[in-house]
């Protein structure tokens, strides 16, 4: 592969999202903990993935939460689910990165170690005085994923807790307490196709400790994780400047954005932990892998306008297609 814009590990672990030359909405759910081999490496062996952007992204999360506390919410009945989530994610981290993280127990007292962040914390489950903050906030400060907790009741799923700082085109602060179907209501054709109803029904049948995953994709101008509704005005200038960029700058500035979403049925609380990990790769690096370059161009060229419009790429997708094809 030619010289890349991104750090080598970011290219090697990038979850290229297109399995065919066309794309339509689908549930695309599969069991987690299975490595997916790509032209550059692999992804998906672990639920939680730490890369060279770890400390940078966690600092960005702290900055966003300080500026907008509504990105973190926990409804009162979700306290048990927050402890449940913290323990599950700590266990996943300790299993994936035993050289730098560990979770052990001595009676009621748990011991957590994260050497990457110089954290050594003892705690008793249920006693929030043991932690410097609430358990969901504590673990969200140590993973690169956004976290949404879904409460299952009244034959539905409700987004009743979470820490979401890197959302794409939606607002967690606005959506707190909404049902799964209400949150996905703005996506064109999703309910009519039956995809979102099937996804909800699948989630409601998840058994304790079952973990599934899926991917979703869009595009982002700049290496910007937070493209939530709250940032729309801030991003207008970047969009306006895109047309004036030469081809070299265009390929470096525009990024393929992929979310790897994990869904975990929590054993103690019965809630569903919905993890959203966002990966960004500039077009210049996508084009460095010929198979990716050809496939992405084909997908965007064929993509129905209603999907392109919802993903916010209608204004520049023709140029992306031409740019990718010219790199062959």
Q: Exposure pattern of 238-247 as b/e (b: 16+ CB <10 Å)?
A: eeeebeeeee
Alpha helices in 97-187 (DSSP H): 135-140, 172-175, 180-183
Look at residue 37 in the predicted model and tell me its pLDDT.
97
One-character DSSP codes across 266-288? -TTT--EEEEEEEEEEEHHHHTT
**Quick check: 95 and 276 in contact, CB under 8 A?**
no
Paired tokens of 227: 């493209």
Look at residue 228 in the predicted model and tell me its pLDDT.
92
Residue 214 annotated among the catalytic residues of the structure: yes
Taking the model in full, what pTM does it have?
A: 0.95
Tell me: the pLDDT tens digits for 193-212? Answer: 677 888 889 999 999 989 99
Distance between CA atoms of residues 147 and 134, nearest Å: 14
Tell me: the pLDDT tens digits for 177-191? Answer: 899 888 876 666 555
Tell me: the pLDDT tens digits for 307-326? Answer: 999 899 999 999 999 999 99
Mention every residue, 6+ apart, whose C-beta is less than 8 A from residue 179.
Answer: 156, 157, 158, 159
**What is the average pLDDT value for the chain, to the nearest integer?**
94
Strand order from edge to edge, sheet including 101-106? 101-106, 109-114, 119-124
Of 61, 62, 153, 214, which residue is the catalytic one? Answer: 214
Mention every residue, 6+ apart, whose C-beta is less than 8 A from residue 115.
Answer: 100, 101
């Amino acid at each position: 592969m030619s010289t890349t814009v991104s750090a080598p590990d970011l290219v090697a672990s990038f979850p290229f999202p297109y399995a065919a030359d066309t794309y339509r909405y689908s549930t695309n759910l599969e069991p987690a903990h299975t490595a997916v081999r790509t032209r550059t490496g692999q992804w998906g062996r672990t639920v939680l993935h730490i890369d060279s952007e770890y400390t940078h992204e966690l600092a960005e999360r702290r900055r966003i939460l300080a500026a907008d506390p509504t990105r973190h919410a926990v409804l009162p009945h979700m306290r048990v689910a927050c402890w449940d989530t913290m323990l599950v994610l700590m266990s996943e981290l300790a299993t994936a990165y035993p050289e730098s993280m560990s979770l052990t127990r001595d009676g009621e007292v748990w011991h957590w170690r994260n050497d990457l962040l110089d954290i050594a914390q003892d705690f008793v489950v249920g006693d929030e005085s043991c932690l410097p903050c609430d358990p969901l906030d504590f673990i969200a400060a140590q993973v690169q994923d956004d976290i949404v907790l879904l409460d299952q009741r009244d034959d539905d799923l409700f987004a009743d807790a979470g820490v979401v700082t890197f959302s794409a085109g939606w607002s967690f602060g606005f959506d707190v307490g909404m049902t799964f179907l209400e949150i996905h209501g703005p996506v064109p054709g999703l309910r009519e196709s039956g995809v979102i109803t099937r996804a909800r029904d699948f989630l409601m049948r998840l058994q304790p400790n079952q973990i599934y995953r899926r991917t979703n994709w869009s595009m982002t101008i700049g290496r910007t994780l937070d493209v939530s509704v709250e940032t729309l005005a801030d991003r207008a200038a970047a969009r306006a400047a895109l047309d004036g960029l030469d081809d070299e700058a265009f390929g470096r500035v525009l990024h393929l954005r992929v979310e790897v979403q994990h869904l975990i049925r929590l054993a103690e609380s019965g809630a569903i932990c919905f993890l959203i990990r966002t990966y960004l790769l500039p077009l210049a690096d996508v084009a460095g892998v010929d198979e990716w370059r050809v496939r992405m161009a084909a997908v965007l060229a064929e993509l129905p306008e209603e999907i392109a419009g919802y993903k916010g790429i209608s204004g520049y997708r023709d140029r992306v297609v031409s740019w990718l094809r010219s790199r062959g």
